[in-house]
């Protein structure tokens, strides 16, 4: 296997370990212990399938998912579709900037607004690497940040007292009221992220080009790329929940990332607390850059409008800074942003399954019947979870 063909999936995987994941996973573990482990495991299995289908579609067709949709939708539906996709991108960007700002406040005591500005500035530098040096150097930078994220979020697991029998029992699907469903939807939205579905097709296409003669080799490499990156992202997510369940459950003040950091530092030591904060900062910096790349892919594909990524970064930074300036609880804003992402998943996932199963578009690389069935089951499960979220929230059930 030519490992140098790897990279696009690891960039997409940043979306799976962003600050929204941190907020959702820590909140779930602190409030419900090991109850929702099954959500993360199931979501990461779904993510593996989804990200491969996205990358395969980009490689086979030579077009991104938004481009394919833009060619097929009439003007009105195309604009409506773009609006919901932009809402998803905005929710993504909000989570990344908020998380990075919180990390800078924890590490250096900076006000959240100043932290948000710094995160935005550094993300612009990362995007300049991509625009001036090409995708491969950008991949190396993002993969380096992914390594920092992995160390920062998994370090505490090795010194915490995890109850492995309880963790195993958390693999049994169940809920404990309305709020647990809200958190499950938030965890799903933070794991199977719509913007990652859109952008992976572009990342694979931009990295490898459209080379029909080399498709078998590229698709084999892509499968390994996706499996390795999703296993890593899944391990980090589960580690966060296990850490919270074992060290934070029942403790007061852990309903925010700042409170969780304080509790982690008090329980596991300042070194673990600092590593956690550094991982959170790396998560915010990397994911906001990838999120901006995804937003540009969505706009250019659906509207055929290309806005320079640095200009787009400056514009999309404004809502996040406004949230920080209003004094809204940033951790809860993070969790709610992930719910918005969860509601946007079917709009990205259903077209992906439909297009990747189309023999006229994909030729001999169209999804075989068994894979098609599994993919539509995944779509159905996502839709059902979101319907349960809406119903329980509106009725106050649970």
Tens of pLDDT, residues 194-252: 888 999 999 999 888 888 889 999 999 999 999 999 999 999 999 999 999 998 887 76
Give mean pLDDT, residues 2-28. 82
Q: CA neighbours within 13 Å on the CB side: how many for 255?
A: 7
Name the 3-class secondary structure at 383: helix
Give mean pLDDT, residues 274-300. 89
Closest CA to 155 of 280, 288, 43: 280
User: What pLDDT does residue 232 have?
Assistant: 94
Q: Which residues of 83-98 are buried (b: 16+ CB within 10 A; e: fewer)?
A: eebbebbbbbbbbbbb
The two three-digit tokens of residue 178, written as one number:
């309305």
> How far is it, in rounded angstroms, from Cα 373 to Cα 377?
6
Domain locations in the chain as residue ranges: 3-395
Closest CA to 283 of 61, 103, 39, 64: 103
The two three-digit tokens of residue 283, written as one number:
């998560």
User: What pLDDT does residue 348 have?
Assistant: 92
User: What pLDDT band is residue 290 in, cutting at 50, 70 and 90?
Assistant: confident
User: What pLDDT does residue 3 have?
Assistant: 44
Count of residues making up the chain: 398
In terms of DSSP H, where are the helices of the chain?
Answer: 8-13, 19-32, 37-61, 65-72, 75-108, 112-133, 135-154, 164-169, 178-191, 194-208, 215-247, 257-268, 270-303, 309-326, 330-356, 359-362, 369-395
Give mean pLDDT, residues 299-316. 82
> How far is it, in rounded angstroms, from Cα 282 to Cα 375?
32
User: What pLDDT does residue 51 have?
Assistant: 95
In the predicted structure, residue 110 carries a pLDDT above the cut 90: yes
Name the 3-class secondary structure at 173: coil
User: What pLDDT does residue 4 have?
Assistant: 60
> How far is it, in rounded angstroms, from Cα 298 to Cα 57?
15
User: What pLDDT does residue 1 have?
Assistant: 38
What lies within 8 Å, CB to CB, of 146 at 6+ separation is 10, 13, 14, 17, 232, 282, 286
Give mean pLDDT, residues 123-145. 82
User: What pLDDT does residue 338 have?
Assistant: 67
pTM: 0.89
Tens of pLDDT, residue by residue over 372-398, are: 999 999 888 888 877 776 676 667 654
What lies within 8 Å, CB to CB, of 311 at 6+ separation is none
The two three-digit tokens of residue 140, written as one number:
């190396």
User: What pLDDT does residue 242 have?
Assistant: 95
Name the 3-class secondary structure at 134: coil
User: What pLDDT does residue 398 have?
Assistant: 47
In the predicted structure, residue 265 carries a pLDDT above the cut 50: yes
> How far is it, in rounded angstroms, from Cα 21 to Cα 51?
17
> How far is it, in rounded angstroms, from Cα 21 to Cα 2?
31
The two three-digit tokens of residue 388, written as one number:
């349960």
Q: Which CATH number fits domain 3-395: 1.10.3720.10, 1.10.10.10, 1.20.1740.10, 1.10.8.50?
A: 1.20.1740.10
Percent of the chain with pLDDT over 70: 95
In the predicted structure, residue 165 carries a pLDDT above the cut 50: yes
């Amino acid at each position: 296997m030519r490992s140098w063909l790897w990279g696009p999936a690891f960039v997409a995987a940043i979306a799976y370990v962003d600050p929204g994941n941190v907020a959702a996973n820590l909140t779930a573990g602190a409030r419900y212990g090991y109850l929702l482990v099954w959500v993360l495991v199931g979501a990461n299995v779904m993510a593996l399938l989804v990200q491969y289908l996205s990358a395969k579609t980009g490689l086979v067709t030579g077009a991104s998912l938004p481009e394919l949709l833009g060619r097929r939708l009439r003007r009105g539906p195309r604009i409506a579709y773009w609006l919901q996709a932009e809402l998803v991108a905005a929710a993504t960007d909000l989570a990344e900037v908020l998380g990075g700002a919180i990390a800078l406040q924890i590490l250096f005591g900076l006000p959240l607004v100043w932290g948000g500005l710094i995160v935005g500035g550094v993300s612009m530098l990362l995007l300049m690497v991509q625009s001036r040096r090409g995708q491969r150097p950008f991949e190396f930078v993002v993969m380096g940040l992914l390594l920092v994220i992995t160390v920062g979020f998994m370090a505490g697991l090795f010194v915490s007292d995890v109850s492995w029998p309880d963790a195993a029992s958390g693999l049994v699907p169940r809920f404990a009221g309305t709020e647990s469903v809200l958190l499950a939807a938030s965890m799903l939205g933070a794991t199977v992220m719509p913007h990652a579905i859109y952008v992976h097709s572009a990342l694979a296409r931009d990295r490898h080009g459209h080379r029909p003669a080399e498709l078998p080799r590229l698709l084999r490499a892509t499968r390994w790329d996706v499996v390795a990156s999703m296993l890593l992202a899944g391990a980090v997510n589960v580690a966060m929940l296990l850490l919270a369940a074992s060290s934070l459950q029942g403790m007061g003040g852990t309903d925010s990332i700042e409170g969780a950091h304080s509790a982690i530092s008090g329980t596991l030591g300042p070194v673990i607390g600092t590593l956690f904060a550094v991982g959170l900062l790396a998560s915010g910096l990397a994911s906001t850059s990838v999120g901006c790349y995804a937003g540009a892919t969505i706009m250019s594909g659906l509207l055929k409008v290309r806005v320079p990524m640095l200009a787009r970064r400056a514009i999309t930074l404004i809502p996040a800074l406004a949230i920080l300036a209003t004094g809204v609880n940033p951790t809860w804003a993070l969790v709610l942003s992930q719910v918005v992402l969860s509601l946007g998943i079917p709009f990205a996932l259903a077209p992906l399954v439909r297009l990747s199963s189309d023999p006229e578009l994909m030729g001999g690389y169209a999804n075989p019947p068994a894979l098609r069935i599994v993919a539509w089951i995944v779509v159905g499960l996502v839709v059902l979870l979101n319907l349960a979220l809406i119903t329980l929230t509106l009725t106050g059930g649970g």
